[in-house]
Structure 1
Amino acid sequence: MVATRQEGTTVKPLSDGTAFVEGAYVPIGEARLPLLDWGFTRSDVTYDVVHVWKGSFFRLDDHLDRFQRSCDRLRLNPGYGRDQTREILMRCVSLSGLREAYVEMICTRGVPAPGSRDPRLCRNQFFAFAIPFVWIFSRSRQKEGAHLIISDVPRIAPVSVDPTVKNFHWGDLTRALFQALDRGGDSAVLLDGDGYLSEGPGFNVFRVHQGGVTTPEGTVLEGITRASVRELCEELDIPFALTRITPDELRDADEVFVSSTAGGVMPVSRVDQRILGNGRPGPVTLRIRELYWRKHEQGWHATPVDYESP
């Protein structure tokens, strides 16, 4: 077990999670953010999440690319180049010793100059951490399929907050999640301003109908696992399209599933009060999900973590 920062007789482990804060690697329980950082007080922040599975990052370069695009669009400068960011993420994982991990990189606006509200005068800050793998839906829940609720909470309009830039504007997503939990569901999918499906709290949603797969476009995060689903469909000769989807079309689907870095491809067996198929994960979903994890085992889009370097 790796440990750091001995305090008296207490040694705090890095194996519970490792963070990179102000140039130092610390146990996740010791990571701190300045109270006046606009990332905290204004949600003026961007981030990205990549996972590690069996000792390798999955699609690390794609996540680094998206993180840089997000920083550029929000006029944020993390202060570290791409190779440095990669090394920091690698180090967070290797210090923790985690073989399956949820790894996040964050850039905040930072603390403003005293008495100033000018964002140009803030010194942007970079943080990162690695913690044990996070599942949106537990493995046991995935075996029977999750229960999604179509929320009446509208997704924030793209003209206000760009959905392709990962952000912490989760007020609408959190309201919808509470609504779903109060109604006995596992999570929610929100609608855009025109009444079409958008996305859920941390995931993209997919409809399977007559053997083809469709997923919303335009008002959603362009998920990297979503891109993986597209590649898998092409490999399996399953028709795939980005399109508008109505709530009724989702309820009437043959199958439904969601995708996320936090869990991969995850089946849904119920939408609102409608049970899909026989109330279990459908055959198309299972084919995609099985191939997703099998290709993980084969090193698909993998970047191995160096656990040996000091």
Structure 2
Amino acid sequence: MTGPLAHLNGRFLPFAEAALPLHDAGFVSGATVVDNARTFGHKLFRWADHLARFRRDCAACYVPLNATDEHLTVTAEELVSYNAKWLPPGGELQLVTFATPGPLGLYSGGAANGPPTLGMVTYPLPFARYRPFFTEGVTLVLVGTHSSDSTVLPPTVKHRSRMHWHIADHTARARSGTPSALGITAGPDGTLTETSVAHFLAVIHGTVTTPPRHTVLDGISLRVTEELCHAVGVPFAEAPILPDRSLAGREAMLTGTGFCLAGVRELVLPNSERIRFDWPGPVYRALLAAWSDRVGVDVAKQFTEAGT
């Protein structure tokens, strides 16, 4: 075969031929559990953690996942190995694993649903998308509230129902005038939660602080950043973070799968006030260096010097 492959419902096929029927629950209802991992040196990073979260989230969302961990791992490694051949020098991949309940009989005139859908696709890691995070710092815009206390669909679950993030990021870019800006939401109590691609952290009184875990996605990169805080001797804590002037002059960061760790330059509030952070600050620089040591590559250079 010529060109990248995908894996869908038990078989490899050309990426361009991979498709879901229009009556699949993932399309009709947005009922899709998903995972997004990335490679370093064309090897998946923290795959075991990603896979465990994916299986847990499928169970929580009543999405059948019949494949074994061994089968999923072998498939993921084969797909990454093959698709990496089509990358430019220095390129890396992101691997998306997804599962849905499958086709809904109601929409095809039948009574039976399923079988469940399971797929894997890769795409080249978009260095250009994240480059401004390292050259300019991240601009965040507080765009509104988002429920973080649902007992039906907990915020810890990674899924594809992302309309609120689509609106949040477009709103952030329109209000800030910054093409790479991200929206960040507040919970019902007014404290900060997360963004569409990353967790938020602030350095408060010398402690790297992140919103309470039950209010945000169970992020693999957040786990790594916490581990690195312990490794470099920086305290780490979970606590509510209010978006007010007390944050001015402190450090703030984002951590996410695609880019590992990036410093936040400013937070734009609903009244258009801009809270400026210490960017790039010393704690961020220490943690970014620790990230680079952990993954075996200079993370910042990977984004600032890559050709794509």
Corresponding residue for residue 252 of structure 1: 248
Residue identity over aligned pairs, in percent, reads 25
TM superposition shift of 1:139: 2.4
| Superimposed CA distance per residue, residues 180-208 of structure 1 (whole angstroms, 9 cap, x where no aligned partner) | 01012410111111211111102110001
| Superimposed CA distance per residue, residues 226-252 of structure 1 (whole angstroms, 9 cap, x where no aligned partner) | 000100000111010011111116743
Take 2:209 and 2:128, find their aligned partners in 1: how far apart are those partners? 21
Take 1:13 and 1:267, find their aligned partners in 2: how far apart are those partners? 36
1:215 and 2:205 are equivalent in the alignment: no
Alignment gaps of 5+ in structure 1:
5-11, 299-310
- RMSD value, Cα: 2.3
TM superposition shift of 1:296: 0.6
Take 1:246 and 1:268, find their aligned partners in 2: how far apart are those partners? 16
TM superposition shift of 1:291: 0.9
TM superposition shift of 1:25: 1.8
Corresponding letter in the other structure for 2:135: K
1:169 and 2:161 are equivalent in the alignment: yes
Matches of residues 140-179 of structure 1 in structure 2 within 5 Å?
140-155=132-147, 157-179=149-171
Corresponding letter in the other structure for 2:210: T
Q: Which structure shows the higher helix fraction?
A: 2
Corresponding residue for residue 13 of structure 1: 3
Shift in alpha-carbon separation, 1:125–1:158, aligned structure 2, 3 A: same
Take 2:129 and 2:202, find their aligned partners in 1: how far apart are those partners? 18
1:65 and 2:66 are equivalent in the alignment: no
| 2:188 paired residue among 187, 193, 209 | 193
Out of 95-104 and 47-56, give the one that drifted further.
Answer: 95-104
Take 1:75 and 1:194, find their aligned partners in 2: how far apart are those partners? 30
Out of 195-204 and 167-176, give the one that drifted further.
Answer: 167-176
Alignment gaps of 5+ in structure 2:
269-273, 298-308
Corresponding residue for residue 303 of structure 1: none
1:39 and 2:29 are equivalent in the alignment: no
| Superimposed CA distance per residue, residues 207-265 of structure 1 (whole angstroms, 9 cap, x where no aligned partner) | 01232100001210011100001000001110100111111167435111101111111
SS at match of 1:189: strand
Corresponding residue for residue 104 of structure 1: 96
Take 1:258 and 1:95, find their aligned partners in 2: how far apart are those partners? 31
SS at match of 1:75: coil
1:76 and 2:63 are equivalent in the alignment: yes
- Structure 1 segments of 4 or more deviating over 4 A? 114-120
Corresponding residue for residue 269 of structure 1: 265
Take 1:261 and 1:286, find their aligned partners in 2: how far apart are those partners? 18
TM-score when normalising by structure 1: 0.84
Corresponding letter in the other structure for 2:264: V
Matched residue count: 283
1:127 and 2:124 are equivalent in the alignment: no
Take 1:119 and 1:133, find their aligned partners in 2: how far apart are those partners? 41
Corresponding letter in the other structure for 2:182: S
Corresponding residue for residue 223 of structure 2: 227
Take 2:163 and 2:128, find their aligned partners in 1: how far apart are those partners? 18
